[in-house]
């Protein structure tokens, strides 16, 4: 399945572009699902027909789904209370009724990720178009599965489960309850679910389309988003320059806006596959208006982003790890080696990545940023990589 993730600054028209993209694909005969994170029926407003919190057919070949985060959160909390009954009784905790539960921050994001996983595993669709939240929330959402899996592995290491048989004994010796089997089983289930979401996001058929209005604010948002996506290993497939104004008399009141638009478009075209979408003079409503936007077609997936390691041992005595980070600024970069991981900070974004196996036996020898690519040099550690092992 092909998955297209669509996001952009708030108010840039990303939901409308997502609907137009999905509608065009469906009109071309592709079985398409439009998945939206909006609480309100913004996709329905664009399509001209109401959509619900269950999959709804909005046009021939097009299904729209806005997952019900509240219902999923209530179900999860109720199930958790049932499984943790003994611990809650020990603490004297009072149960929460499902009717009094309201979603906590983050519940909608988790609900969307689960829906993305379920949709990607379905055989009913050929294309999944995901209307993500606005930037920068979308960038945080895309990094959530990897981060949560890392936390789970640190807090409840799978190898600790080997000591299950000893927990009753340890509990009696310590005088306190020990983690029960259900806790490890729950962690394992969450890890599997998060891994499935992560597999969808990193699949070679998944790409991101950014939506922004051509102007100073849009240009800065696009630069930051491209860097954040690149740090996550996601490629920006296309840049939709939304609500472009028609060229008119330079002496008109639109002259300054047109000048800003021309500059933004010229800069973008040097680095992105840009698709200008015209301003209709009104909010698009209905299939005819969406068709008039001429959203770019769904082409075969681009080549995936790679972080290759090149062998320069013979020439320079180092291995070089190449990390493409377009838009990165040298003064805003920071690297910290911690065990077998590298903590990378690029502007406001941060990611902890596991080192490739060959680099785990090396020490960091330096780094340089050239033409939007971070090159980190690693020298073999003599204690771990003897000369005869090269």
Helix axes 255-269, 216-231, angle to 10 degrees: 20
Average pLDDT, integer, range 282-304: 89
Q: What is the pLDDT of residue 242?
A: 97
pLDDT of the residue at 345: 97
**Structural domains in the chain plus CATH codes:** 2-68+104-292 (3.40.50.300), 309-389 (2.60.40.790)
Q: Which residue has the higher pLDDT, 152 or 199?
A: 199
Helix H or strand E encompassing 358: none
Q: Is the pLDDT of residue 80 over 70?
A: no
Mean pLDDT is lowest, of 90-94, 108-112, 175-179, for 175-179
Band of residue 92 on the pLDDT scale cut at 50, 70, 90: low
Take residue 213 and report the two structure tokens written for it.
Answer: 């209005």
Both tokens assigned to 351: 């990611």
Res 84 pLDDT > 50: yes
| Cα Dmax for the chain | 85
Long-range CB pairs of 37-44 (<8 Å, 24+ gap) are 37/66, 37/108, 37/109, 37/112, 37/131, 37/132, 37/133, 38/66, 38/131, 39/66, 39/108, 41/66, 42/15, 43/15, 43/18, 43/19, 43/131
Q: Smallest Cα–Cα separation from 111: which of 138, 76, 157? A: 76
pLDDT at site 170: 46
Looking at residues 350-354, what average pLDDT do you find? 95
Share the mean pLDDT of the chain: 86
pLDDT band for position 178 (cuts 50, 70, 90):
very low
Using 50, 70 and 90 to split pLDDT, how confident is the model at 168?
low
3-state secondary structure of 200: helix
Q: Which residue has the higher pLDDT, 85 or 282?
A: 282
Within 10 Å of residue 200's Cβ, how many Cβ atoms?
A: 21
Nearest to 113 by CA among 143, 70, 156: 143
Distance CA 360, CA 346 (A): 22
Average pLDDT in the 164-183 region?
53
Task: Choose between 39 and 333: higher pLDDT.
Answer: 333
pLDDT at 292: 93
For residue 103, the model assigns a pLDDT of: 63
Measured CA to CA in angstroms, residue 133 lies from 26, 108, 335 at distances of: 23, 10, 29
- Among 43-52, 66-75, 129-138, 376-385, name the one with the lowest average pLDDT: 66-75
| pLDDT for the residue 390 | 45
Whole-model pTM: value is 0.86
User: How do residues 250-278 score in pLDDT, each as one tens digit?
Assistant: 566 788 889 999 999 999 999 999 999 99
In the three-class reduction of DSSP (H, G, I as helix; E, B as strand; rest coil), residue 35 is classed as strand
Highest average pLDDT, of 163-167, 190-194, 249-253, comes from: 190-194
- What pLDDT is stored for residue 53 in this prediction? 84
169 pLDDT higher than 60: no
Composition of the chain by helix, strand, coil, percent to 5: 45, 25, 35
Confidence at residue 389, expressed as pLDDT on a 0 to 100 scale: 46
């Amino acid at each position: 399945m092909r998955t297209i993730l669509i996001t952009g600054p708030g108010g840039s028209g990303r939901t409308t572009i997502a609907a137009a993209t999905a509608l065009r694909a469906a009109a071309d005969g592709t079985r398409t699902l439009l998945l939206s994170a909006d609480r309100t029926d913004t996709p329905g407003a664009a399509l001209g027909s109401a959509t619900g919190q269950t999959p709804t057919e909005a046009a021939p070949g097009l299904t729209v789904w806005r997952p019900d985060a509240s219902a999923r959160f209530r179900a999860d909390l109720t199930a958790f209370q049932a499984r943790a009954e003994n611990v809650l009784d020990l603490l004297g905790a009072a149960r929460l009724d499902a009717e009094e539960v309201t979603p906590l921050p983050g519940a909608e994001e988790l609900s969307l990720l689960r829906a993305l996983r379920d949709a990607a595993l379905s055989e009913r669709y050929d294309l999944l178009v995901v209307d993500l939240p606005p930037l920068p929330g979308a960038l945080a959402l895309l990094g959530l599965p990897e981060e949560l899996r890392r936390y789970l592995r640190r807090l409840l290491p799978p190898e600790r489960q080997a000591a299950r048989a000893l927990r009753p004994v340890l509990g009696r010796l310590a005088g306190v309850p020990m983690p029960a089997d259900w806790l490890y089983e729950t962690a394992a289930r969450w890890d599997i679910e998060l891994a499935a979401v992560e597999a969808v996001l990193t699949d070679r058929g998944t790409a991101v389309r950014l939506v922004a209005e051509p102007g100073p604010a849009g240009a800065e948002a696009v630069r930051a988003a491209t860097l954040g996506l690149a740090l996550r290993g996601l490629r920006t497939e296309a840049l939709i320059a939304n609500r472009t104004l028609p060229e008119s008399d330079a002496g008109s009141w639109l002259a300054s806006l047109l000048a800003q638009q021309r500059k933004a478009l010229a800069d973008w075209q040097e680095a992105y596959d840009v698709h200008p979408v015209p301003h209709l003079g009104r909010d698009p409503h209905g299939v005819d208006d969406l068709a008039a936007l001429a959203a770019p077609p769904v082409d075969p997936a681009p080549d995936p982003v790679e972080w290759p390691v090149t062998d320069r041992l013979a020439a320079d005595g180092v291995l070089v790890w190449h990390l493409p980070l377009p838009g990165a600024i040298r003064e805003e970069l920071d690297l910290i080696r911690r065990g077998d991981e590298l903590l990378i900070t690029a502007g406001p974004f941060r990611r902890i990545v596991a080192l490739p196996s060959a680099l785990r036996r090396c020490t960091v020898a330096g780094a340089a940023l050239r033409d939007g690519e971070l090159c980190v040099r690693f020298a073999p550690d003599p204690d771990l990589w003897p000369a005869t092992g090269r």
